Each structure stands twice: as structure tokens, then as C-alpha cells.
Structure 1
Amino acid sequence: MRFLLLLLAVALAAPPAGAQPTGTQPAGQPTAAPPAPAAASARLKDLVVLEGAAPVQLVGYGLIVGLDRTGDRARGRSSAPYTVQSIANMLRRFGTTVDPLRLGARNAAAVMVTATLDPFSGPGGRLDVTVSAIGDATSLSGGTLIQTPLLDPLTNLPRVVAQGAVSTGTLLASAAGSSARTGPTNTGRVPGGGLVVEAVSPTLDGTTAGLILRTPDFTNAARVAEAVNARFPAAAEAVHAGLVRVAVPEGGVVALMASLESLQIAVDVPARVVVNERTGTIVAGGDVRISEAMITYGSLVISTQVDPVVSQPGPFSDGQTVAAAVGGVAIDEAQARSVLLPPNADVGELAAALDALGMTARDVIAVFQALSRAGALQGELVIL
């Protein structure tokens, strides 16, 4: 009934046939097209990376010491013998030999150390490293990472050595067997703890340089090539959606990139809706469109309840007291509400319609999934 009333209201609001709509041009005169929405723009340096100069991911195995009895609880042949063995190996390097079976690890933890090395960082440069516990440590707060070499997985050569105080940015408190914490405490960072000892040698020689788009897109690749050709005529060619090839001028790659990095590119953003079901977060691009669709929302609540009942025997009888239970079921179904989306509706109109229905974030996620399955969502639905 509400759906019919909504259609009737739309029909009554429509102007009669032949009537001149308010604010329009008289017949026979051209009407001005509505202004197109301004496209988002970005610098070229934020859209591309230079081919042959990719960052290098590094990894290493290390020890964190100085913990307040929150490290690996292994002793001898327990669940984390590698921690005790690592402590024994470290002491052996300093001329102290100790039987691993006599060592404890409550104040130490074995960790994996990771970092990303910029291809243009030279020896002596600093970078942040991340440490993650691999044993049964409960917290890395207050610990210090012992000097750890970080290896290039392709060459197996150490490029960075890491050492320093660990920062977790979390709080852990316990009392009388109860504990509470804010955020993960078995992962942390060592700000500026990585020291570059061997730099990466990017391959930038040649007559051409490749610009690799961070997000491949044919339209953006063509626009990048067009912007580069406006600065250096006939120098750029869009090879495919993720690569633009540019001829290197006499000044070399450095002069080329310095001249191109500040170019403003009109970015074409794909129509995409990203949903994180774990946190209930929804991000929709402005180019997402929804075909004509009707959304009906209602709620059904089923509640059960068990009431204890005690049956008492009569006085001076041979009966016994019996405990029983009486169950009850209640069904509460709220009245369904509906909205009708106009053809080619945008995310703003959809958000207003869903807000009018009083939906939660979980309900909105279900609506987007249903719209995608119905073929009414003109865009890509990405579920994390």
C-alpha cells in the first residue's frame, strides 16, 4: 500500500503534458548543458613510480630483551626452545658459554623484524622497522631489540642492521588474575632503528624511462602520456594500463622526473564500493550509480524465555517437591518500510534513502550485496 502511495505521489508531482517546466528555456532555444562535475586531480609523482626503482622488502630474525617477565615462557625443551638457544648463541659471541637448559626467557622474546628499504636510500640512512613476536610472549612493551641484520630475500645479503627501543603504543594492565589491554602488545616498531649499510642500485640507465601507475587504469595512463607530451612533445607513449614509456632527454632521468613530478593529472576514479564486514566500514566512490530499484527493510525478533516452576506436594502427603520449567516464545515483526530509488541514483541518494529507513552499518552492507546480486549496482563491490 505504501509503495502504491509513493508511486501516486510521484505521478501527482509530475507536470502535465505540454506544460512548460519552471525555469527552463522557451521552445526552440538551445538549453545549456549542466556543468560536469570537476574531476579530481593529483600530481604525477603521487600516481606513478619509476620502473627499476621499486622498494625492497627486508626481513630478519632477532631478540628483544629487557621485558618485564612478559617474554617467551620457554625453558629448556619447552614450547619455544629457539628463544633460549638464541640467547645462548648471543652470549657465546661475547665469550660466555652457558648451558641452554639452565637459561630462562621470561625477559626476552624471539621476533621477526621487517622493514621496507627505499631504493634511493644510501649507506647511513635511517628507517623504521617492525618487530613481531613469534613465540608465546604476552607483551613487547619496554623491550630493546638487539642488533639484527635484515636480509634482501633476492640476494640474501644484509642491507640494514636494526637496533633500538621498541614502541608498541599500547597499554597492558593486570591484577588478581584479570588483565586488560588496548591494542596488540606483541607487535611494535623501532622508530629510526634501521641503519642502511648497503644501498640498492636502481637501474635508471637507458634512452627511455618507464612510469608505472600505482593503480593501473587505461584512462589515467592515456592522461599521463598526454600531460608528458604537453611538456616534452612526442616523448611519451602509453604502453598499457599500467605503464607509460617516456624518452629520456639530454639531462637524464633526474632532470626528466624533476620536470614531470609536479604535473597535475585529472584522475579517473573507478566506480567501486569497498566494504569491511569486520568493522562495518563502507567506502563508496562518487561515480557509483544505482539503477532503478526498490528496497524494503523490516525486522523480525524472536525471543525465547524459560521460567522455572516448583511443584509442591500437598500437606501430610508422600509426594516430593519437583522443579520444572515452562518455556515461552514471542515473535515481534516490525512493519516493513520501503523506498524507491530513481534511475541512475548516486551514492548520496542511496545514503539518504537508507538513513530514512534507520538501517545500521551491517544492514547497509547487506543492501549493497543484494544490489550487486540484483545487477542494480553499477560498479565493483569489494568485500574485505
Structure 2
Amino acid sequence: MVTLVWDYLREYEAERDDILEAVDRVFSSGRLVMGDSVAGFEQEFAAYHGTSHAIGVDNGTNAIKLALQALGVGPGDEVITVSNTAAPTVVAIDAVGATPVFVDIDPDTYLMDLSQVEAAVTERTRCLLPVHLYGQCVDLDTLTELADRHHLVLMEDCAQAHGARHRGRVAGSVGEAAAFSFYPTKVLGAYGDGGAVVTDDDEVAANLRRLRYYGMEKSYYVVETPGHNSRLDEVQAEILRRKLARLDDYVAARQRVAARYAEALAGTDLALPTTVADGSHVYYLYVVRHPRRDDILARLREYGIHLNVSYPWPVHTMSGFAGLGYRPGSLPHTERAADEIFSLPMYPSLPVEVQDEVVDALREVLVAL
């Protein structure tokens, strides 16, 4: 068999009545765009994060892009972030005309190495953009102090960390703004694309609402500042309202899957996930590491098990960003991780028998290396 890294069908079977009721509610409402479902989800999503505002948009990439624009980040500015991330983080920075500046990662957590950030600050630096990767939060205390001292904007990329917490604070509740993706694979996933930005800043929120709607606010026919068509779909918003109420259950289920992996793979020479001190891990991905990663993946394919690597190509090595001037070896921990990490199947409805199949095959491969 071919093992699925991610699958939603078992979850859909369990939640089908609720999902279809959500769709019917929107179709029967008489309002298919920017109606009560978007407004309701925004209120509930903001409440979950303890923020004053949530602004729904069409996808996670535009959540980052529009948030940067709303914060005043643009051409000539530099944004400090990491290269070990999904490309959309950096694509969004480029889309507003800013320049991404990369720092290396901590080799144990794969999160931004905070000790390198201050040295990367220049007179052009405008924004710090940490990525809460794989399901856990960067420690933002250091970045908050640094941002305040250098008068920088702090924005969180929370696309992989719905519900994760650090020192009691939920991901997205610390920076001036935080961007989320609701791509179907996410911890809180829609049945299609979607995204949102949360913020406590009234002006940033107002800017975002204009930017997602052509730049209009008071009238459909009056553009106050050029914007985009980046609205969250009403159907996806209603589905997300239902799923938001189950978010903590999804997180608990992922943590149970992770605990089974940790127990079953203890004693092997795989490097298993490390949880940040004072933090919780929601396991968007279960990322393991081995210096013979490629051999392991090749042998697992002989068992019919195909696994993913997130991410095999750091952004600074991609041809599309060659103009940034980074060379091989410039981010050694990032580059080494890209050669050694891989992800085991991880989703709340992962069948125990599938997990056991992966673990048994993996243990056999490791012994045979």
C-alpha cells in the first residue's frame, strides 16, 4: 500500500453532517460574500487568540502579504526571517517589495536562532518575522525586547502553529500582527484555501479590511487606497467556525499520535522532535532526523511507504531567490537540516494501524542500515 502522509476523509466522515450543514447554512442565507459567517468567524477567531481583531483573507500567503502592507512594510525595507520555512513566507515579503534577510535556525528545534537576530539588524530593517514552525512557537520575549529597542515591527507567521502556546500565550497574540493559513492540511484547516490576520491595532485592522477589498471601505465604488480582492470565502468561514470549536480536540489528537511515535521510536538513532522550554507542541508535522535520510526514504518506498520532507530546499538556495546573494554554507544549520529531516504521517484521524505500519517498517530499515 501507499501510506498517506495526510488524509482528511476519515475526519470528514465523522464531521460530515456538520460540514454539510455549514454549507447549506451559507447557501440558504441569501449572502454568499462577506456575510454573517465571515463576520462570525472573525469574532470567534479573535476571541480565541485574545486579540481585538481578526481579518479573514483568501489564503495564508496573502495573510502575510497584506499584514506587512498594513504594517507599513514595503520597498526598501528589510524583513528578518528564516530560510527553513515554506516558500510563501518569503514570497509574501518579496511581493510587498521588501528584502528578506535570513538568520540560521536552532539545530534542535529548527526555529529561528534568536542569538543571530540582532547582528542582522541594519538601518533598513523594518520588521522581524519569526516562523512558528512545525507546530511550536519561537520564544518571542527576546524578539519583543529587540524590536522595541530598535523600533521594529514584530509580526508572527502562525501558519503551522494554530493553538500552540509558549509561556501561556497562544501563537499570534504577541506581535503587532500575526498571519494564519487555513490550507486543508493545517491544524485548523478549511475545505479549500483561507487565511486570517489577528491584531490588537485598530489602524492595522482597518488597513487590512481595506486592502482585502480592493482598497474600499465606505462604498463599493470608492477606492480609498489601492488594494486587492483577497476576501475569505463565506462557505470556508462557516466551516472554520465549526472546526474552530474543535481546535483543541484536534491538537490533543495530534499530541496523542506524537506520543505514540515517541514511545515506539525511543531507542532508535532517529532524532525525534524537541519541544521548546515552557511551550506546547501541536505537531502540525512530526519531523524526525537522520544523517542517512535519503537511504531511509528509499528503503521505505520498497514497503510502499512514501514520506515527505519539509523542507528539502531552503528558500535561500532556490533559483527564484538567487539574487539575494546567499551562497552554500551561509546558513549551515538550515542546510544540514534540509539534508537530514523528514516527516512521519501526522493528522488527528491517523489510523493506529497505519501508524504502526510506518513505525514497524521504519524500525526495520534503521536496523538494516
Give the TM-score normalised by structure 1. 0.19
More strand by share: 1
Query: Larger relative contact order (C-alpha < 8 A, sep ≥ 6)?
Result: 2
Looking at CA atoms only, which structure, 1 or 2, has the larger radius of gyration? 1
More helix by share: 2
